A = this chain, B = another copy of it.
């Protein structure tokens, strides 16, 4: 059920952006409550943060950049690093109020139940931005590597025949499943980055599991732009094989989808 206020907000023409310098806390709290679904809101404030959920954390009072998105995302950024210090993912529910003279921003989510509480002593700036999202395209994914090998099976070795992509087993999903020229089973695991020991472990698990249910010989290939030393040791101990493939080198002519 929408209140009259909520209806009015939606109908009201929206500014491209709204700036409040040193905003009154009551005004800021009301603005956040009424508008967080419509604007991306940035708050630059001296603030402290407490988080309680899968883990728990405390951030002592300092200058932080707080971003609230219409989808429920909350970010608390400091002056360093790509990662936010604290955050809440999309779907979280926001509220804001004044308590003991301080501006409080609280975000809650369920499954898992998690709460972030931000207490602002002095909000320096509040900036609300009316944004629309653009179109985004990415290239050079792992699936493009699989497509390349599907079209160029001899990359694995002469006589290799791809059979099925993303073959689902009880143990997990095999990137590419096929046969070699002697009709042995071939399992291919692709990585777009340098392969590590974890990737070898994953391939070994698949090979062992398939081998247990089959009389054929089962061979495992790891296809990646490189492999770490430890991973190479583990690979050889497990009698698995490696093929070097750089996603950068297969961009020619790959633009489908």
Contacts and interface: CB of A to CB of B under 8 A. Distances in A.
Nearest to A202: B201
Interface stretch (A24-32, A132-140, A149-157, A180-188): A132-140
User: Can you tell how many copies of this chain the complex includes?
Assistant: 2
Contact of A171 (B65, B139, B197): B197
Interface residues of A, number: 74
A193 B112 CA distance: 12
Nearest to A135: B60
A167 interface: no
A19 B17 contact: no
A100 interface: no
A79 B201 contact: no
A247 B135 CA distance: 41
A141 B55 contact: yes
B80 A70 contact: yes
A85 interface: yes
Nearest to A134: B62
Given A19-B19, A55-B247, A71-B81, A134 B64 contact: yes
B209 A205 contact: no
Contact of A212 (B133, B205, B237): B237
